[in-house]
Structure 1
Amino acid sequence: MKTLFVAPTRNGVGLSSTALGLMRALERQGLKVAFLKPIAQTHEADTDDSVHFARVLAHAVTPEPIPLAVAEEQLSLGGSEELMENVIALAREASLTGPDGVATDVLIAEGLALNERNLYAGALNASLARNLEAETVLVSSLSEVTPGVLADELEIAAQSYRRSDGSGLAGYVLNFAPTELDFGSLMAELRARSRVLASGELPLLGVVSVSPGLAAPRTLDVARYLGAEVINEGEARLRRVTSTVVTARTVPKMASLFTPGALVVTPGDREDVVMAASLAHLSGVPLAGLMFTSGSAPEDSIERLCRAALSSNLPVLRVATNSFHTASNLSRMDPRVPHDDTERMDRMLEFIADRLDTVPLGTRLRTPQEGRERRLPPSAFRYELIQKARAANKRIVLPEGDEPRTVRAAIRCIEKGIARCVLLAKPDRVRQVAEGQGLSLPEGLEVLDPDSIRGRYVEPMVELRRHKGLTAPQAEAQLEDTVVLGTMMLALDEVDGLVSGAVHTTANTVRPALQLIKTAPGAQLVSSIFFMLMPEQVLVYGDAAINPNPNAQELADIALQSAESARAFGIPVRVAMLSYSTGESGSGEDVEKVKEATRLVRERHPDILVDGPLQYDAASVLNVGQQKAPNSPVAGRATVFIFPDLNTGNTTYKAVQRSAGVVAVGPMLQGLRKPVNDLSRGALVDDIVFTIALTAIQATQGRDA
């Protein structure tokens, strides 16, 4: 399934109607289309306009959007990652099946319309498109704009939605085109001004002209908007207001304005106008209605004379405001289509769909694009991580059971169903720590007192370490360390994984695992990776936590372990063996080590795309890679980065994490028989939660293997 994100370039471009019109145009091609409004447009409690019409007119099973107030609160508190994960969840819900239970081909996601209040909406829309892995359809307007300004507007918007690999743009739609538009001249000027339009990277999908009839509200809508008294409803639900006649002149001067769809606005004491409107109605002119201003009404004698018209199907209304203020109020009437006016919206969608050229777009949506792979964005990675962990339902032990961040993370994991956490600590102490953070311990969170369970692990530990001469008193002393105690629980299969390191060093976490868990079959060493959640995709860094100075054989093992971990978590595998030089440009012992490691990886696993030595920029930046290593299958497109030593790896990951504001999930240890994972001592609660999820998934993978 592919996703199209419909985004505005400025305020008032007809965003919702275009998104739904695009949906209808694609359905005409036989595609199954789902619809999503990720975030509600307003703070109103009612169902969002586009969601309502998608359900009513397209019969789409569309989830409710995230309330705008909730989204704004999350953004203000720095919770954009959580917001995006919630959006991913909504997208999955929307696209599971089409309205008739058939799998969806395309998901149309509508962004936020831009206005003077939501200055954040442009950046948020770009983030939504990126995290939904969507191609963007830009919607602009020809109303009150010069071709030069329009070209600049589209060029700037395209830069916001274009991804680093050149993808991300599906096309653009121009709305509110004047009927006298010189299309050829317009397009020539746009292409002369904009590179993205001239190159065809942003194709034109359609030009939708102005249609006054589609903007015409029902007389009933006018009455609701003005709070008018309905004297005679007549056909107020059927007739539409296409023009307004304010009676400032004599009847002979206005008679030509009494046309179908005209709403006649007059004080009730203008008997001449009342009679003229009544005559027009009786003559068969379908006026939209007659509205008395200033709270007035015709004299009884005039009312009796015109009763045949005023009590028929002609809508008759009354407002308290005078004619001038009434006309002013009408000019400011909200152009949104009321939820019960499905006939108007249906005609509008048909009109738009007729003017969209989506055949090339539909063909592209049906046909897999050669060489185009999924670039797993951070929010999708985190969402899938949590979903897989929930499905795994593993029991994870946390030896640092009374550490405040760990307690909060364990509570969150229980509440979200990520894992069954076990805290090793005094129960009273854990309760005290939770209460100090304003939290309560949920049912299902296990808290085990180390003193009460330690004794039963002495004999099994002696048995495991008998070949090393371990005695019972020595085992009992070592089990005073809760990390050792938790590791024994894992060794005996009482838990499925262990997470530690919030207060312990890496050595404190890894040493017991090496002694009691051992390495996995075929693994020559234990290594680590970080999942680096870059803005557009998730990359893997290894090894940045365990091995200080691996030799060529060890470096090859790290690369193979990291490639396997990347594949297990849905990340395309292209391995870059990093060095301070690219190809044959450098020499020396360090470069030769990387060359040999690259050769070993190719020899042992010819199916893995690997290249080295590569400098970081040659591995990660497409144009640099094409220049420095033009024949490389990896350069500029690497997803797995293998550092030559711990000094380089640890420094790089922390520099990227802190300087670029990138979330680093991990380290995740590789090569152990059972999953043990180490935390950074500066880990945040979210870091611990995601590491617990990683550990749960590793446990499942280990079982499957």
Structure 2
Amino acid sequence: MTRSVYVTGIDRGDGRQVVELGFMELLTRQVDRVGVFRPLVHDGPDRLFELLRARYRLAQDPATVYGMDYQEASALQADQGTDELVSTLVDRFHLVARDYDVVLVLGTDFAATQLPDELALNARLANEFGASVIPVVGGRKQTAESVLAETRNAYRAYDSLGCDVLAVVTNRVAREERDEIAARLEGRMPVPCYVVPDEPALSAPTVSQIAQALDAKVLLGDDSGLARDALDFVFGGATLPNFLAALTPGCLVVTPGDRADLVVGALAAHSAGTPPIAGVLLTLDEVPREEILALSARLAPGTPVISVSGNSFPTAEQLFSLEGKLNAATPRKAETALGLFERYADTAELARRVSAPSSDRVTPMMFEHKLLEQARSDRRRVVLPEGTEERVLHAAEVLLRRGVCDLTLLGPVDQIRKKAADLGLDLGDSQLIDPATSELRDAFAELYALLRAHRGVTVELAYDVVSDVNYFGTLMVQEGLADGMVSGSVHSTAATIRPAFEIIKTRPDASIVSSVFFMCLADKVLVYGDCAVNPDPDARQLADIAVQSAVTAARFGVEPRIAMLSYSTGTSGSGADVDKVREATELVRERRPDLKIEGPIQYDAAVEPSVAATKLPGSEVAGQATVLIFPDLNTGNNTYKAVQRSAGAIAVGPVLQGLRKPVNDLSRGALVQDIVNTVAITAIQAQHPSEKASEQ
């Protein structure tokens, strides 16, 4: 039977979209097929469903998502009664439920709905749907005592109406009162109660939303700049020195369009990062001269400058009434919302309480979710040498908003800050270090000279070497100042991993450093090794790659069943290449008799049960291999790329293995999500720094 979760409230303004988004994330970690149903909807596009559809790649027909609109529901209830309304909505819910493992139900919004006793209607619908209920209580601008009373009353209200209350979420409470409220609720409610503080970035409108609401003309700015949150409003009317002193991080400057001095001054301050602003809003329909706009564009590329026809007072009234909304066009807000939910709600406990049906399928999204969750469970610090690279900065913001790990970014600090400001990114409390000016440079030079003395490296030469961001980052990992490193978005593989070979070196139980790719297919994850490092490993090295790959697979939740690939299966072929694979297979069996392994074996026999039944009947690996070891780099690299392009697989990697501490390489074509995944993998590897392969 389909399990469903019904997220509802007791009044408007509770910000429950954070909870709805958080539950969608939680459910998609567990099962492949998650449906969405909103019993009642207002006219116009549904912002939250569009966000869920874009973010989670939902294939559900939007026409099936909604029961009916509020006007139709009000008329039906008035003409035929509540029973008929409920019956109709139940029928439409089951049309969705029959096609999905789990359904997330989005309750009514208590906003001008003209429905009597809306709370009771939500409770009845949840009961008729067989759904567990998550009441959300809004605590914004309320005292702690009021929030506590509302939370207890919300539980009692839904419980008294026969609902299976899964947990209660109290949202948008004052940050300074959050811990007190949580402590006073802990253990005093029959179900878990999670207290989430108010987050200004979620309620702040983006510059794009402001421009749309005010029908403003965009004079300057790119999509990234227009996506910035306006965290504050600063109205310009004072002299420039006083005006600059009033600027706050993330503020939108509002000034008459004829104050070119304030426009240029604000953008110059942004360019210097003191402070970075969201943009500039010009009033009175006045536009600066072309040369001023050209100077502005050079001072702060991408920073939006928009213009409205009204004067400052009515513009201010409109601005203060605006509130940011989660939608498909605000992915950064979604990351902030998820980070908030995952920090303050016990997602592991919620997952157990939901008891969604388990799935044997592992989709790419489920695998990515698991990576982030696993990395977050034991937070580590990862150093990113390419701190001025745009994709790296975008990935850093996602990682920080989601609370995946702590970060150190390397490069000229002013350049990093300026680049982040130009992109409208918030790097939070990430550590910024310039290797060229760092106080660590002298100590690192002495250490590197000592490590490479046998190669004739002097301290003077080492002083120059360690200013390189990859060498500096590797030395941070070696010295325990970071737990792992990820580079390669603009550096070659050699430039990324050579410092690791020289400084960190291989583990005692590993003869070589090798790599794997996690190949995320439509319904499972396979591990391919080695497709990036070793051109032509001998039998002993190939055995080492197999063992390392099995350890890596297990660490990331893939049960290792190893296929040692060749152009023949079993005893059907001979020759030097096949003999190498056969010898390597025997070496793995001697070294790790607990591992399931088959070889030599052809790819089709390794992954296709019908072929395996013919070629290797009775094998516990053939037809169900999860770790596929290629005999050489030529075969492995071409195969992973062929599968990636032809089968539409997502290739996560290469993930290096065999080093004493984790260092990982990126493709120079890596997307932001690729970087996020690789950093998460690196953080997970760092959670077991002293673990040996022989102990797995």
TM range (shorter): 0.5 to 0.7
Structure-2 residue corresponding to 1:484: 471
**From 386, 399, 414, the counterpart of 1:400:** 386
Are 2:516 and 2:530, in contact at CA under 8 Å, matched by a contact in 1? Answer: yes
Please give the TM-score of this superposition, normalised by the length of structure 1. 0.52
Deviations 1:349-395 (A, max 9, x none): xxxxxxxxxxxxxxxxxxxxxxx995544333222211111122111
Structure-2 residue corresponding to 1:463: 450
Structure-1 separation of matches of 2:613 and 2:588? 23
Structure-2 separation of matches of 1:600 and 1:373? 35
Structure-2 residue corresponding to 1:42: 38
Q: Does 1:655 align with 2:667?
A: no
- Once the 2 structures are TM-superposed, how far is the Cα of residue 520 of structure 1 from its aligned partner? 0.9
Structure-2 separation of matches of 1:240 and 1:696? 51
RMSD: 3.8
Q: Does 1:669 align with 2:656?
A: yes
**From 440, 464, 472, the counterpart of 2:459:** 472
Structure-2 residue corresponding to 1:420: 406
Structure-2 separation of matches of 1:456 and 1:347? 64
1:617 aligned partner, one-letter code: D
Deviations 1:305-326 (A, max 9, x none): xxxxxxxxxxxxxxxxxxxxxx
How has the CA–CA distance of structure 1 residues 691 and 341 changed in structure 2, closer, same or farther, with 3 Å as cutoff? closer
What is the 5 A alignment of 1:372-451? 376-437=362-423, 439-451=424-436
Are 2:411 and 2:434, in contact at CA under 8 Å, matched by a contact in 1? Answer: yes
What is the 5 A alignment of 1:191-340? 224-225=75-76, 227=78, 339=122
Structure-2 separation of matches of 1:346 and 1:477? 68
Are 1:376 and 1:571, in contact at CA under 8 Å, matched by a contact in 2? Answer: no
**From 522, 531, 541, the counterpart of 2:518:** 531
Structure-1 separation of matches of 2:86 and 2:552? 64
What is the 5 A alignment of 1:483-522? 483-522=470-509
**From 591, 613, 619, the counterpart of 1:626:** 613
How has the CA–CA distance of structure 1 residues 478 and 639 changed in structure 2, closer, same or farther, with 3 Å as cutoff? same
2:403 aligned partner, one-letter code: G
Structure-2 separation of matches of 1:5 and 1:458? 61
Structure-2 separation of matches of 1:654 and 1:446? 36
Are 2:381 and 2:408, in contact at CA under 8 Å, matched by a contact in 1? Answer: yes
How has the CA–CA distance of structure 1 residues 43 and 597 changed in structure 2, closer, same or farther, with 3 Å as cutoff? same
Structure-1 separation of matches of 2:33 and 2:663? 40
Structure 2, unaligned runs of 5 or more: 5-29, 67-71, 88-119, 132-357
Structure-2 separation of matches of 1:512 and 1:340? 61
2:504 aligned partner, one-letter code: I
Secondary structure, aligned partner of 1:460: helix
2:364 aligned partner, one-letter code: P
How has the CA–CA distance of structure 1 residues 607 and 344 changed in structure 2, closer, same or farther, with 3 Å as cutoff? closer
1:80 aligned partner, one-letter code: Y
Structure 1, unaligned runs of 5 or more: 8-33, 47-66, 85-111, 120-220, 231-235, 243-336, 349-371
Are 1:519 and 1:526, in contact at CA under 8 Å, matched by a contact in 2? Answer: yes
How has the CA–CA distance of structure 1 residues 240 and 387 changed in structure 2, closer, same or farther, with 3 Å as cutoff? closer
Structure-2 residue corresponding to 1:70: 48
Structure-2 separation of matches of 1:36 and 1:628? 32
Structure-2 residue corresponding to 1:557: 544
Aligned residues: 402
**From 591, 594, 614, the counterpart of 2:581:** 594
Structure-2 separation of matches of 1:37 and 1:587? 46
- Once the 2 structures are TM-superposed, how far is the Cα of residue 631 of structure 1 from its aligned partner? 2.9
Are 1:431 and 1:440, in contact at CA under 8 Å, matched by a contact in 2? Answer: no
The list of structure 1 runs, each at least 4 consecutive aligned residues, that deviate by more than 6 angstroms after superposition, is 34-37, 236-242
How has the CA–CA distance of structure 1 residues 36 and 652 changed in structure 2, closer, same or farther, with 3 Å as cutoff? closer
Structure-2 residue corresponding to 1:314: none
How has the CA–CA distance of structure 1 residues 447 and 590 changed in structure 2, closer, same or farther, with 3 Å as cutoff? same
Please give the TM-score of this superposition, normalised by the length of structure 2. 0.53
Deviations 1:499-524 (A, max 9, x none): 11111111111111011101112110
Structure-2 separation of matches of 1:508 and 1:649? 22
Deviations 1:380-433 (A, max 9, x none): 322221111112211111111111111111111111111111111112222333
Structure-2 separation of matches of 1:399 and 1:71? 38
Structure-1 separation of matches of 2:482 and 2:396? 15
- Once the 2 structures are TM-superposed, how far is the Cα of residue 43 of structure 1 from its aligned partner? 7.9
Secondary structure, aligned partner of 1:701: coil
How has the CA–CA distance of structure 1 residues 68 and 661 changed in structure 2, closer, same or farther, with 3 Å as cutoff? farther
1:552 aligned partner, one-letter code: A
How has the CA–CA distance of structure 1 residues 451 and 623 changed in structure 2, closer, same or farther, with 3 Å as cutoff? same
Secondary structure, aligned partner of 2:377: helix
- Once the 2 structures are TM-superposed, how far is the Cα of residue 71 of structure 1 from its aligned partner? 4.1
Are 2:3 and 2:130, in contact at CA under 8 Å, matched by a contact in 1? Answer: no
- Once the 2 structures are TM-superposed, how far is the Cα of residue 435 of structure 1 from its aligned partner? 3.6
- Once the 2 structures are TM-superposed, how far is the Cα of residue 436 of structure 1 from its aligned partner? 3.9
Structure-2 separation of matches of 1:240 and 1:400? 58
